Amino acid sequence: MGAKLRITEIFYSLQGETSTVGVPTVFIRLTGCPLRCQYCDTAYAFSGGVIYELENILQEIKSYNTKYITVTGGEPLAQEDCHVLLTSLCDLGYKVSLETSGAMDISRVDSRVVKILDIKTPGSAEMHRNLESNIEFLQAQDQVKFVICTKEDYLWAQEKLTHYALLEKVDEVLFSPSKQELEPKQLAEWILKDQLQVRMQVQLHKYLWGDQPGH
């Protein structure tokens, strides 16, 4: 039986985060997530969705003129066939990234995929879900993300940078202010004061389109 996945939406937009921010990208948003981060902006993907056969997904994305594909959620790895999807996309020559919560095992993710691993801060209310063993499976091409809600989150993330030697493991460490909880300017000032070699990011798509789905 072929791979099938429950999909909330497939859409074409500008990448709003990570090292390819601003690049036209196809997003495949899988349905379902075992986490409930207090700042989640994609709760509409927790349930519902439509079952797609793998072939239908691959056919739909061909209509978009880009080599960049981001598989996101929800939590994509909560669906076993996500691995089949990722490998199939890589086999077709796409530049594939995976946005994952850090609560699911990443050891079997195709090595060609750029993993965006979100390490949950205390302010997320889901810090206890972090799967520490994932750190050893990170590759240089991967990126680690911290969503910062408070100064305490910032200090906690700074400690994790050192504890896991993250700046030596991956190309990019991303610090992102939690919208409506932390002013971007404040986070920027902390980073500069401490001379952290991280990439601060704001969500470009939110500035362009707000919170509407499909962007």
Q: What is the mean pLDDT of the chain?
A: 94
pLDDT digits (tens, 9 = 90+) for 46-99: 999 999 999 999 999 999 999 999 999 999 999 999 999 999 999 999 999 999
pLDDT tier for residue 180 given thresholds of 50, 70 and 90: confident
Average confidence (pLDDT) over 146-171 = 97
Q: CA 116 to CA 172: how far, in whole Å?
A: 9
Q: CA 154 to CA 104: how far, in whole Å?
A: 23
N-term to C-term CA, the chain: 32
Domain ranges in the chain are 4-209
SS3 letters across 18-80: CCCCCCEEEEEEECCCCCCCCCCCCHHHCCCCEEEEHHHHHHHHCCCCCCEEEEECCCHHHCC
pLDDT at 215 over 80: no
pLDDT tier for residue 206 given thresholds of 50, 70 and 90: confident
State the number of CA atoms in the 13 A half-sphere of 75 facing the CB: 18
> Which CATH class name applies to 4-209?
alpha beta
User: CB of 136 within 8 A of CB of 168?
Assistant: no
pLDDT digits (tens, 9 = 90+) for 17-46: 999 999 999 999 999 999 999 999 899 999
